[in-house]
Amino acid sequence: MKPIYMDHHATTPLDPRVLEIMLPYLQEHFGNPSSSTHIYGEIAKKAVEAAREQVVQLLNAQNPAEIIFTSCATESNNMVLKGAVALSKVENPEIITIATEHKAILDTLKRLNRQGVVTRLAKIDKYGIVDLDSIKEMINDRTILITIQAANSEIGTLQPLRSIGQIAKEHNIPFHTDAVQALGKIKVDVEKDHIDFLSISAHKMYGPKGVGALYLRKGHRIAPLLDGGGQERGVRSGTLNVPGIIGLGKAAEIAGSDLTGEADRVRQLRDMLINGVLERIDQTTLNGHPTLRLPNNANLSFSYIEGESLILACKAFAVSTGSACSSETLKSSYVLKAIGVPDSLAHSSIRFGLGKSNTKEDITLLLDTLEKNVKRLRDMSPLYEMAQQGIDVDKFEWGEHKH
Ligand code: PLP
């Protein structure tokens, strides 16, 4: 039997309604939307424009021309950062961000740093929430962009988008948010939240993989990453992934309409899981904020146990220790490190990403499984034994070893 899927931050299954609407565009409606001389192109173009409108609705954007389709959110993030720098006339331009961003932001910035761009990391608290005063203090004449995610993929922490957007607006600095994990779970409104650029990924909201979008507020410009056929108003050349875009549009429509009911249902499951673990298993801690977190995220540390060992022991569940891209190495999570979680607890953490398929029964089974296996592993754990003898395991040397 397949394990129960609880890794919805890594990716989500395709909603059957999304698949259904995509299929004809993988078959008979194969036209290129840029072909304006015949019906094949027209059909594809009409469907792409309908999908654009669905994304507009989800974000409360004002104009379909503000939506640029891309191949993924990694591309959207790269486009904004590199595209803003390329057009900037400022010497050593500065970009304000936080240390818990996704690697698609942090590694892009690292590359830009080699070209003289300066990354300014605003302070975050122990939950990962940005300090607004720290942002204000960092703003200066060379600040060209503020990029702060809507929600964190490991610890689920939600950022105060509206306040950040307000600060950016007051200082006339464009504000980008990576909203990949937030869309479909919490309301993100580019108008009310004063967002100028926003990154989207379809596969995190029950859409297909390999398609994303960038919201680009009217009046703002970025240099394109790709030169070519000039599609997407010249900002993103390349023949459009029509079935993917149509899937993204439908996923956006469903994400918007499911928002309150499904988010409330999953929030209850999340709280059942968090409270169940904290009450039933001693020496466990919640990483991230108790309430200002994604309704589907629980990140818990089980002291004296390696997260990887606990995951192996709980085979009936598909969960992970952190972000999909970094969980192949046994390095402790940079996100947990950034919020000050000690190495020992970071190594003992598991991320639970709940989703539409999960039920109350799943959580009941998960709690029983965790309780049983934590006890079993602790009974075998040298760390637990050391701790029982009064040895401070936080001083224990943790290696950065690979599998
Ligand atoms: N941003 C965040 C916050 C993510 O969680 C992810 C995926 O894990 C990405 C960006 C990258 O998205 P994509 O897979 O569409 O490139």
Q: How confident is the model at residue 322 (pLDDT cuts 50, 70, 90)?
A: low
pLDDT single digits (tens) 147-191: 999 999 999 999 999 999 999 999 999 999 999 999 999 999 999
Q: Spell out the domain ranges in the chain.
A: 16-256, 259-400
Q: Is the dihedral of CA 333, 339, 344, 346 positive or negative?
A: negative
- Among 74, 158, 325, name the best residue to mutate to test ligand 1's pocket (greatest count of ligand atoms within 8 A of Cβ): 74
Domains 16-256 and 259-400 share a fold: no
Non-local (6+) Cβ contacts of 183 within 8 A are 58, 150, 200, 204, 205, 252, 255
Ligand 1 near 179 CB (within 6 A): no
- Ligand 1 pocket residue status of 153, Cβ below 6 Å: yes
72 lines ligand 1 (CB under 6 A): yes
Going by pLDDT thresholds of 50, 70 and 90, the confidence category of residue 396 is: low
Tallying the residues shown for the chain, one arrives at 403
- Ligand 1 and 212: CB distance under 6 A: yes
Return the higher-pLDDT residue of 185 and 400: 185
Tell me how far the alpha carbon of residue 225 lies from the centroid of ligand 1, in angstroms.
18
Hey, CA dihedral for 184, 203, 55, 234, is it positive or negative?
positive
What is the pLDDT, as a whole number, of residue 386?
82
pLDDT in tens, 63-121: 999 999 999 999 999 999 999 999 999 999 999 999 999 999 999 999 999 999 999 99
**At which residue do the structure tokens 């990483």 appear?**
287
pLDDT tens by residue, 267-285:
999 999 999 999 999 999 9
Rounded to an integer, what is the distance from CA 103 to the centroid of its chain? 10
In this predicted structure, what is the pLDDT of residue 25?
Answer: 98
Q: Are 320 and 350 in contact (CB under 8 A)?
A: yes
Give 199's strand partners: 178, 214
Within 196-314, residue ranges assigned H as helices are: 242-257, 259-280, 307-313
397 has pLDDT over 90: no
Rounded distance from Cα 159 to ligand 1 centre (Å): 16
Q: Is 14 a residue whose pLDDT tops 80?
A: yes
Any ligand 1 atom below 6 A from CB of 73 = yes
d(CA 201, ligand 1 centre) in Å = 7
Separation between Cα atoms, residue 87 and residue 302, nearest integer Å: 47
Q: Is 181 in the pocket of ligand 1 (CB under 6 A)?
A: yes
Q: Do 319 and 352 touch, CB atoms closer than 8 A?
A: yes
Percent of the chain with pLDDT over 70: 95
What pLDDT is recorded for position 385? 83
Ligand 1 neighbourhood includes 152 CB (under 6 angstroms): no
Cβ(351) to ligand 1 under 6 A?
A: no
Average of per-residue pLDDT values in the chain = 94
SS3 for 352? strand
**In this predicted structure, what is the pLDDT of residue 50?**
98
Q: How far is the CA of 29 from the centre of ligand 1 (A)?
A: 29
- Atom 7 of ligand 1 has which residue's CA nearest to it? 10
Ligand 1: distance of its center to the CA of 180 in Å? 6
Active site residues: 325
Contact 329, 322 (CB under 8 A): no
Question: What tokens does 184 get?
Answer: 């479909």
Q: At 37, list the tokens.
A: 């001389």
Which carries the bigger pLDDT value, residue 200 or residue 327? 200
Given a cut of 70, is residue 18 above it in pLDDT? Answer: yes
Q: Whose CA is nearest to atom 8 of ligand 1?
A: 10
DSSP track, 39-100: HHHHHHHHHHHHHHHHHHHHHT-S-GGGEEEES-HHHHHHHHHHHHHHH--SSS-EEEE-TT
Nearest ligand 1 atom to the CA of 151 is 3
259-400: CATH superfamily: Aspartate Aminotransferase, domain 1 (3.90.1150.10)
Alpha carbon of residue 344 to chain centroid? 25
Pocket probe for ligand 1: among 12, 153, 154, the residue whose CB has the most ligand atoms within 8 Å is 153
Chain segment 201-247, per-residue pLDDT in tens: 999 999 999 999 999 999 999 999 999 999 999 999 999 999 999 99
- pLDDT-based confidence at 329, cuts 50/70/90? low
pTM for this predicted structure: 0.94
* CATH node for 16-256: 3.40.640.10
Chain-centre distance for alpha carbon 248: 16
201 lines ligand 1 (CB under 6 A): yes
